[in-house]
A and B are shown apart, each in its own frame.
Chain A
């Protein structure tokens, strides 16, 4: 995959959260990620792994006091970091759209659903108020909200969680973006509603031909929706593979730990989870970040940080002793 062919190219991205009292915390530590046009890529990690920071950093909206220290974020060949703010604002919402996890808190409480969708069309598509409202109605229909004419005038607090999530999808896809970032988008929903909303998101994204960065804590979801899966741990990609290859032969001990956590097999879970987390002898910042929790830890893991290396076709992992033998 060449750089020109990718829709999003994140390279060596470092995001720091400076602190007055303690050492600076790095939410992203040289993260690399590449997404091809139309590709659906799943990014899985636990809380605090840097998933949300990545989503925000791509959009250039790292919450203060966080700063992007270095690295590159290129969208369709455009350097997002070098771009002036007005141009970037023009891209956000139009070419890069976000699907958020908690829509009833994140939609504006005093604007109707119709106004909020129409706002996007108004400012990004350059249409008039009336047309923007028509776009809003079309989008409500497209996300299969029942009784869309009436919902157009509803306020966010009058919607159910699933319906609010559909509105957010409508907002995200109103301008036919090239990249959709979904940040834990369905974590607040019931399992059944979640499945419906995910199906909808997938079909809408496919229909519009957008690439998707699907950030989630739920590794099971990615199995159904993504063509490629990345595992993020402590601000770095620790494994990246095609979905089938990943689930067939996960290579990183952390990936296996995650999969085990989702299995209903306590023995498997116990085998891949370490009881003792604290270890002596590892200097801060040295060695593999996962080493303290790794069941396959060796002395080398504590001394030397592993690089991301390729195992087979497109299958990369950041481990000295990957579970699967290198091809």
Chain B
């Protein structure tokens, strides 16, 4: 009951938050130099036709009026049209966001699978091979750019070994993708019972997911390690030691106490990666949301950029809501 009330209050706050985000990003995006009319008509267009198009697009009006018009459409679920794809931005994003989400969700799962156990193991001993490995790993993961690692992985696993499919999109061109239900190729091909599509989709996911996983395991490792070190020295763990509880039970209690911090860093990474995975998307021609937004920025196609901001804002708010609910579940003190 209490949780429902909490969710209700949070959802209520989403409205002003979203408005603020759109307001700020609208004016920021408008600051980017570049005239969509010129881009659309090309270098040989006459002054008159450019002016006409500008009027038609509404970009000749004052910014405040433009903003009003944009908001008017947004509340109706219309994020405008992209002149590059000539399709409604909403449709484009509904196609591209699942691609990005599938990629970063799996990437983060791999990152957790690497970073969390390594962090716990490193926190348990002050020296030794595991600790040293964790230290170097954290350092390297922070220093190596993800797109570079992606290129190295492609070179090794595609060019040299030929184990992975070419880095061109999410599925083999020869394979017919499953009918879109969720937008995730893995889930959709599972739902369709299409083994060929599933294997192809998984094969294409392998390297980009590995890239994101290996790089983002760094911060998760660091956070887990420092939290675990603090927890293992905390009063209640020392008390558990004096009570003579078996070592694995004490460790389990410490891990449990470290979970909220790890959850925090994972949620931050998730929000960041929605746009931050763009370089990896580009390397693998993923066709994800970040790539779409960057194309928009480069070509003065502003609706996709704003649409991307709105989508990722909503998504981040949803993620933080889920995280808060998980905190509730993990820590009875939050339930108050």
Interface residues of A (CB under 8 A from B): 56, 59, 61, 63, 88-94, 97-98, 100, 102, 105-112, 119-120, 123-124, 155, 157, 171
Contacts and interface: CB of A to CB of B under 8 A. Distances in A.
A61 B238 contact: yes
Nearest to A55: B242
A102 B332 contact: no
Contacts of B331: 109-110
B330 A124 contact: no
Contacts of B246: 89, 123
B235 A102 contact: yes
Contacts of B235: 102, 105-106
Given A98-B243, A105-B236, 17 more contacts: A61-B238, A61-B242, A63-B238, A89-B245, A89-B247, A90-B244, A92-B243, A98-B239, A98-B242, A102-B235, A105-B235, A106-B236, A109-B257, A109-B333, A119-B243, A119-B249, A157-B332
Contact of A89 (B239, B244, B330): B244
Contacts of A100: 239, 242
A92 B244 contact: yes
In this complex, the interface size class of chain B, counting residues with CB under 8 Å from chain A, is 20 to 34
A123 B246 CA distance: 7
Nearest to B239: A106
Contacts of B245: 89, 93, 119-120, 123
Contacts of A88: 244
B240 interface: yes
A89 to B, nearest CB: 5
A7 B245 CA distance: 22
A106 B246 CA distance: 17
A325 B235 CA distance: 46
Interface of B: 235-236, 238-247, 249, 253, 256-257, 330-333
A124 B257 CA distance: 23
B234 to A, nearest CB: 8
A120 B250 CA distance: 12
Contacts of A106: 235-236, 238-239
A67 to B, nearest CB: 14
Contacts of A102: 235
Contacts of A111: 253
B244 A108 contact: no
A303 to B, nearest CB: 41
Contacts of B257: 108-110
Nearest to A119: B245
A171 B330 contact: no
Given A119-B249, A123-B249, A110 B244 contact: no
B243 to A, nearest CB: 4
Contacts of B240: 108
26 contacts: A56-B242, A61-B241, A63-B238, A89-B244, A89-B245, A89-B247, A90-B244, A92-B241, A93-B242, A93-B243, A93-B244, A98-B242, A100-B239, A102-B235, A105-B235, A107-B239, A108-B236, A108-B239, A108-B240, A109-B257, A110-B330, A119-B249, A120-B245, A155-B333, A157-B333, A171-B243
A124 B241 CA distance: 13
* 10 nearest A-B pairs in the assembled complex, by CB-CB distance: A92-B244, A93-B244, A93-B243, A106-B239, A155-B332, A98-B242, A106-B235, A89-B244, A105-B235, A108-B236
A107 B245 CA distance: 13
A144 B241 CA distance: 26
A112 to B, nearest CB: 8
Contacts of B247: 89
Contacts of B239: 98, 100, 106-108
Nearest to A112: B332
Contact of A120 (B238, B243, B256, B333): B243
A179 to B, nearest CB: 12
B238 A94 contact: no
A160 B24 CA distance: 48
Q: Interface centre among B249, B331, B332, B333, by most A CB within 10 Å?
A: B332
